[in-house]
Structure 1
């Protein structure tokens, strides 16, 4: 497999695999840690989801700046190493039980990802620009993408075992160690990189960096501060008088205003021949925001679904294997005479007084009476964060099939255009939400636990949508962007991802406000169907622009 590819590929593949190992291990336990009432921060669903949404939004916002700095000033090798070390340090600090350290850790991860994520992908592309490897570019990126998902798949098993055996801090430390291994592997391949890691410098037609700071970054920071400080109208449902739900959401939305205005100005100031391609890209950016808003619920609302509403009890051989590997934990059932439960607490009467017993396993709250164990007996349940391996597992299985499907269509000259693939990706993603609507119905609106196969089915369908849409988005940016602003337009793709991620946090924070959980998923379905209809409405114009550029 490797022989026909650049010698650097195995090192880039493995370093990216370890980087994703660290990132997805951390994401898989992040909201669970925040909500833990004993060893975490006892946050509510709303608080944890809001912080999660802000975090992953900023993680996808910084690659725009990190890519520009690497292109013009640092070069790719230095940027990747700096980013990797910052992320590793951030993961290590995340397990220290202190709010200040948590925010410092998140900041390091946000900045580090900005330097690492865009530049290792760009570096890989540099090798495939050589004539001898040009025809292998798609295959090289498919191999690289598999590395991402191998890391994302295996990490949750380590995270689960370490959290059960030693606690949250050691799980976060494993994420940090994985990141440091990724940096070491990357440096081991130095002799194969040649001049591909060198900076390009400022090219003719590039926007000067000081203008980017003055017209994008500085206004964004100012607007963000205004958003944080300004208050909305106080009411019974908005006691803290936020405008969009929380200080962080207000700040983020306000900070995006100058950036969105800037991208709009690119269209109006563009040369006549560039107007339509830029307009097409901006339309795609706007539509895919809604995809990311729903897709990124995997680390928040769907993690909550796995934790509270999924039957995680295991028996027999599975129980023996999972217990020996520390992928499951035993919990004891004690029938509480008051039958009163609070999130993470059991209310217990002692000497006429009611006290809270910390970390009572609320797992039993929605177990049917005839399925509850005997008083004082124990059952084994698999660790919640293992559900985060379902999506990357599907990616590993489905990527070769999707690639083969499009190769078959290409051979018959029936391969759809890139915008058409994105439109069908949105439609397929919308259908995945109906699986969760059915799961709510089967579980009588959360009063009974349902099989994990509902989550497996949901992730399976949305993964097909992801494979139709995510790689295609990057492809269409590279195809349609005017050469002098390719980096800026790639930044626009990351911006749309970032806004979608923040919207995902806002959506997840509303989970507890829905008495009927099916309505939560119906809202997600409506958002994706709206995006689908919009994309199909734009399809004729988008395909026309692609034809004008002589590309598919």
Structure 2
């Protein structure tokens, strides 16, 4: 047994990559869990004060771009920087971005997003590539799928923990401190990575460019420059084609990058050509998975905020209150006013708060407390809007609620719970030589994901035309179903890229996988924008079901060919 392998048969380096990714995702999903809420919260409450349409537009564009830049980061790591250097650079850029978001200013808001987008490009494809490289030996290659499942569980441990930290920071200190926590998490991840580099450096090898390969600068010139040109053209085209200027700009900007991957396939030959073609086919199908999955930070967050009964059981509320983790809504004379009177009173209180002096620590604390009281009244009114009268507390009383961002922890909770089960199932089937191929697992994942949308159709019907709130169990069930689909698809996608990619362009092809995530994420924002316009909310979820089911059917039709390509390349 080599010194780089643990007793359980997985490389030691996996556990350092596991810890690095766990803390990186802690920061990433902490930010994403509060992103939509922060954008639509009023400026006087510390948020950006954007309307719902602008919020969804920015959300989709950000999620699209954050997974578009891995194409560039993967290419530079493959040929110039190496994987470890790229990961450290990317992590530090993301930390800087989170710290910039903590400043309540429009300019630093967009600058921070730009740092996160660029940083993720250097970080994300290369840490995933290193995981695959650790399993390149013949004695480990049959454990690659399990290795990616374990790595994926690290992602979701961070994603689970972060929302509790986000809720605590937001409730007690404000939005800015929540973003600072994200930056600190990223720095912890970099520290873990550097401490374990001796177990990873042997697989951080820059691949030599082969005869006929396009030079790096030429690739960048033929993709990055046209990407900006096409993006600008998409933005200035009159009469939006896809709903908004940013939608047009993003999709147009992706076209040169998509064309480059098609060129890669066209110029290759033999088994390499078939492998790249198989990967591109799978990438095309999984776009719709991410279009549905990443509505958890937008449409489903709005569902949790506005249409979910978030009242804590008394026993939980007692503990949560002690740790300042409960969101409080109160019923008083102000909340009980009519719409016009309530709005006038709230504006009066906001103006009085803004006029308060803040020259001493005591005055600053008083002003902060007054601002929190205004925010509590606003959230109380919003929460009571579709709460049955018999559930609204008596005047002077309050309710303790689960904070909306905590619902973002349901998905990672299911991942941590179900990953060992699924790894065990695949292992048992492997022993019987009945384990599905990696493409088959991905197709199964798409089918299961379609079913999760039907769960939310049931949730809509349970609200009686949105006149009342739905039980939290609906979201718990929907996230449980989509998580099972996710575990069959997302880590398997990473594994498939590692297995089928030509070794000299593994990180570049990993960037191609993240490009499919990028397009899917942008579609998630575009779909979420329909939430505001569709009166029959069940139709929104029926649409999600139909889209991802179509992708599943397409992939099932390609399975025979995909499995043949896997066998030709001696991978399963």
Report the TM-score, using the length of structure 2 for normalisation.
0.88
Matched residue, 1:429: 449
Q: How does 1:452-491 map to 2 (within 5 A)?
A: 452-483=472-503, 485-491=505-511
Q: How does 1:229-240 map onto structure 2 within 5 Å?
A: 229-232=236-239
User: For residues 323-348 of structure 1, what are the alpha-carbon distances to aligned partners after superposition, in whole Å with 9 as ceiling and x for unaligned?
Assistant: 1222212111246566438xxx9424
Aligned pair partner of 1:62 in 66, 69, 73: 69
8 Å contact kept, 1:91–1:172 = yes
CA distance in 2, matches of 1:268, 1:62: 23
CA RMSD in angstroms comes to 2.5
- 1:3 Cα deviation from its structure 2 partner: 4.2
Q: Report SS of the residue matched to 1:366.
A: coil
1:379 alignment partner, SS class: strand
C-alpha distance after superposition, 1:136-185 (max 9, x if no partner): 54444333222211111111101100100000000000000111111122
Partner SS for 1:96: coil
- For these two proteins, the number of residue pairs brought into alignment is 537
Show the counterpart of 1:280.
278
Distance in 1, matches of 2:195 and 2:169, equals 28
Residues 137-216 of structure 1 mapped to structure 2, 5 A cutoff: 137-197=144-204, 199-204=206-211, 206-216=213-223
- Where do residues 269-308 of structure 1 align in structure 2 (5 Å cutoff)? 269-271=267-269, 273-308=271-306
Structure 1's unaligned 5+ residue stretches are: 233-241
Shift of 1:88: 0.7
- Find the aligned partners of 1:272 and 1:78 in 2 and give their Cα distance: 33
Aligned-partner SS, 1:413: coil
Query: SS at the partner of 1:69?
Result: helix
1:340 aligns with 2:339: yes
Report the alpha carbon displacement of residue 188 of structure 1 after superposing the two structures with TM.
2.2
Shift of 1:195: 4.2
Written as runs of structure 1 = structure 2, the 5 A alignment for 1:266-415 is: 266-271=264-269, 273-334=271-332, 339-340=338-339, 346-348=342-344, 360-361=378-379, 362-415=382-435
Of residues 26, 30, 35, the one that matches 2:35 is 30
**Contact 2:161-2:409 within 8 A present in 1 as well:** yes
Q: Which segments of 5 or more consecutive residues in structure 2 lack a partner in the other structure?
A: 353-373
Match of 1:236 in 2: none
**1:511 maps to 2:516:** no
Q: Distance in 1 between matches of 2:133 and 2:51?
A: 46
Q: 1:313 is paired with a residue of what secondary structure?
A: coil
Aligned residues of 1:445 and 1:518 also touching (Cα < 8 A): no
CA offset at residue 132 of structure 1? 6.4
Contact 1:426–1:532 at 8 Å: present in 2 too?
Answer: yes
In structure 1, how many angstroms separate the alpha carbons of the residues matched to 2:440 and 2:411?
23
Task: Write out per-residue CA displacement over residues 25-84 of structure 1, whole angstroms, 9 at most, x where no aligned residue.
Answer: 111101100010121112222211111111111111111211221222222222221111
Matches for 1:35-184 after TM superposition, within 5 Å: 35-37=40-42, 38-130=45-137, 137-184=144-191
In the aligned structure 1, how far is the partner of 2:193 from the partner of 2:504? 30
Residue 197 of structure 1 and its aligned partner are, at CA, apart by 3.7
The residue that corresponds to 2:368 in the other structure is none
Render the CA deviation track for 1:99-140: whole Å, top value 9, x for unaligned: 110110001111111111122222333333356655654444
Task: Identify the structure with the greater helix proportion.
Answer: 2
- How far apart in 2 are the matches of 1:380 and 1:483? 54
1:417 corresponding residue in structure 2: 437
Aligned to 1:439: 459
Q: Which secondary structure does the structure 2 equivalent of 1:176 belong to?
A: helix
Local SS of the residue matching 1:311 = coil
